[in-house]
Structure 1
Amino acid sequence: MTSPLTLGVIGVDHRHIYGQLANMQALGCTCKGWWTEGDPQPAAGFVERFPDVPRVDDRRRLLDDPDIDMILLADIPVRRAERAIEAMRAGKDVMTDKPGCTTLDQLQAIRDCAGETGRIWSIDFSERFEVPAVSHAAKLVADGLIGQVVQTVGLGPHRLNRHMRPGWFFDEAAYGGILTDIASHQIDQFLFFTGSTDAEIVASSVGNFANPGDPGLQDYGEILLRSNEGQGYIRVDWYTPDGLPTWGDGRLTILGTEGYIELRKYVDVAGREGTDHVFLVNGERHEYTQASDAPLPYFANLMNDVRDRTESAMAQAHCFKVMELALRAQAQAIRLGALQ
């Protein structure tokens, strides 16, 4: 195993930065400082969780520091491409929150910069990389327990938590649309589990059905995908009711020719306690596994990739393709409800 990295944080506008940094620190990485524009709501939680990481008054102090290997980004989505390009041109690799960008032009600029600089641009797709149940399911699939994967169904419900949301959350141009944002998780999982390197957006739609007073908010979205290796359906929304004890009942079903796997990632409603519930059914057995002890290899692999210039955490082409498909699905989506 290679030595830990030295990190810098730019942008704490989304709470996902907590998991990005905590998982790297758990591997022994150190963070020399953090910078963010203004005082976004997650900043207080960041200071509480990482009290030993100093705030700096100019992000150039982090970008120009020769000791820093990688920048972690969780800025407002529309600014993430600019921040990532700035970091790569400063000689830093990048781990960014999803979505990594909000337009196809931004994505092309990132592709060009990564190609020119040789830097890594990696998106922490937390609904795969920070969920032990997904690691467990990946092993079951790799072991051939459900045969050839034919389809994935990814459901990404979220709680609105209106009182906690900043203004940019209700501005489509700022967050990129619900398919660009949330559904990038499910596109990543579709490509990963079907072994696809590309896919067709057969159909997509976005809607605003519950929040007509917020015309910039998309509270519903769906995508139908098809590739040479499999099919996929995705539904994402902001409708999680307050009665659920967590932010969303995220689920993934992986259908194979010889069985299927269902993941109830964050809650088993009126069932077993805890997270990371995995159900397997095939020709020999039906079983349940509580998979919260499964490993999360993305972070260690990315650390090694930075040192060794490899692609063990995630192929760069895969990262680009996820965002390309999310952005194309968003661009061609039929607009429903209050968005019409």
Structure 2
Amino acid sequence: MTSSQHVRFAAVGLDHSHIFGQVAGLIRAGAEFVGMATDDPAAAVAVQLRERYPDVPFADDPDELIARDGIDVIVTAAVPDRRGPIAVAALRAGKDVVADKPGCVTLDQLAEIERAVAETGRFWSVTFSERFEVPSAIKAGELVREGRIGTVVQTLGLGPHRIGDRAHLAGGAGRPDWFYDKARYGGILADIASHQVDQFLWFTGAKTAEVVSSSVGNFANPDDPGLQDFGEMLLRSENAQGYIRVDWYTPAGLPTWGDGRLLILGTDGYIELRKYIDIEGREGGNHLFLANQEGTQYIDCSDVETSYYPDLIHDVQQRTTTAAPQEHTFETMRLALTAQENAVLRGAAR
């Protein structure tokens, strides 16, 4: 494909509401939405996506759509355990793949995807939206690269969520059964914490790291032991450390689904992001606080542009990986899955 050719994409796997942002992002970047298919057409997300794009054909057979000629990209937000197989099939059908996180749920699935990428020359991108789609995270990256806080030696990533959040539930429908089945959603560290692993690698500049320790728990939902409602891990690279905590404890009184925060510690200062809310502070989201040798600064990042989806289109056309280096995506999922596999179980977690 050359830069003059139009990028056409199809959505296969419509089970998580992140598909709305993925589809909209690709369309805004200039791609053409040409088809959709899913395992469960009655799922709330699938129904709403069809309502939003009534002119886009719906295929009864996901495999047929994946194999269809004239499609450049397959985007998926299927049930997490289906994302790996969908990606492998799409790669082997000559398509690039954009998958919701987690991109897969086992190390064996990851190995299959790595083989398919190597053998086909296509790319596999996982949409780590808590960096790619958050303007304050983009601005923080710029400041780090400028050396405003010196050398980054640690990140502290917090990813709280709310089980009953309407924005994630396709119009207020209840959480589907797979949400409570670890084998299907992959576990809290593979799922949610993959965001924070991505940020640790990106902001510290690490190419690889090790999982020092990890644990998962179920402390508030004992009647649903398949739900891991708490998780933490400690990462270490050659030059940096990272602590990650994720949970499903966001209280009803908070006016958003989670107080996502990131603290980036450098040798000459630090940056704190309040991504979605500054409780009892400034309105809105995308708040960045900087402290270094020159003083302190607040930056409203709400107008900072994000580039993930335009970069994806460029990558399809030019055969590059500017949206996210392929090895970075592999390493992010390897660490998240390793932490999940080796995690100590606590409380009612199974």
Q: Same fold (TM over 0.5)?
A: yes
What is the DSSP-based 3-state SS (H/G/I as helix, E as strand, rest coil) of the residue aligned with 2:39? coil
Match of 1:147 among 134, 147, 150: 150
What is the DSSP-based 3-state SS (H/G/I as helix, E as strand, rest coil) of the residue aligned with 1:314? coil
Match of 2:35 among 23, 33, 36: 33
Gaps of 5+ in 1: none
Task: Name the residue aligned to 1:333.
Answer: 343
Give the distance between the partners of 1:52 and 1:147, measured in 2 at CA: 51
Deviations 1:93-152 (A, max 9, x none): 000000011111111111111111111011010001011111011111111110000100
Deviation at 1:231? 0.5
Distance 1:172 1:263, change over 3 A: same
Deviation at 1:3? 5.0
Does 2:258 match 1:270?
no
Deviation at 1:4? 4.5
Bigger mean CA offset, 3-12 vs 99-108: 3-12
Task: Name the residue aligned to 2:48.
Answer: 45
Give the distance between the partners of 1:104 and 1:92, measured in 2 at CA: 22
Q: TM-score when scaled to structure 1?
A: 0.97
Q: Percent identity?
A: 56
Question: Over the residues paired in the alignment, what is the CA RMSD in angstroms?
Answer: 1.3
Give the distance between the partners of 1:321 and 1:290, measured in 2 at CA: 31
Residue identity opposite 2:152 in structure 1: V
Deviations 1:259-308 (A, max 9, x none): 11000101111111111111111111211111011121111111111111
User: Could you list the runs of 4 or more consecutive aligned residues of structure 1 that deviate by over 3 angstroms after TM superposition?
Assistant: 1-4
Is contact 2:39–2:62 with CA below 8 Å preserved after alignment?
no
Give the distance between the partners of 1:48 and 1:247, measured in 2 at CA: 25
Deviations 1:290-334 (A, max 9, x none): 101112111111111111111211111110101110011011111
Match of 1:13 among 12, 15, 21: 15
Give the distance between the partners of 2:347 and 2:310, measured in 1 at CA: 44
Task: Name the residue aligned to 1:211.
Answer: 221
Give the distance between the partners of 2:248 and 2:241, measured in 1 at CA: 24
Give the distance between the partners of 2:58 and 2:51, measured in 1 at CA: 13
Give the distance between the partners of 1:66 and 1:232, measured in 2 at CA: 44
Residue identity opposite 2:20 in structure 1: Y
Residue identity opposite 1:257 in structure 2: T
Q: TM-score when scaled to structure 2?
A: 0.94
Gaps of 5+ in 2: 166-172
Q: How does 1:175-186 map to 2 (within 5 A)?
A: 175-186=185-196
Number of matched pairs: 340
Match of 1:130 among 105, 122, 133: 133
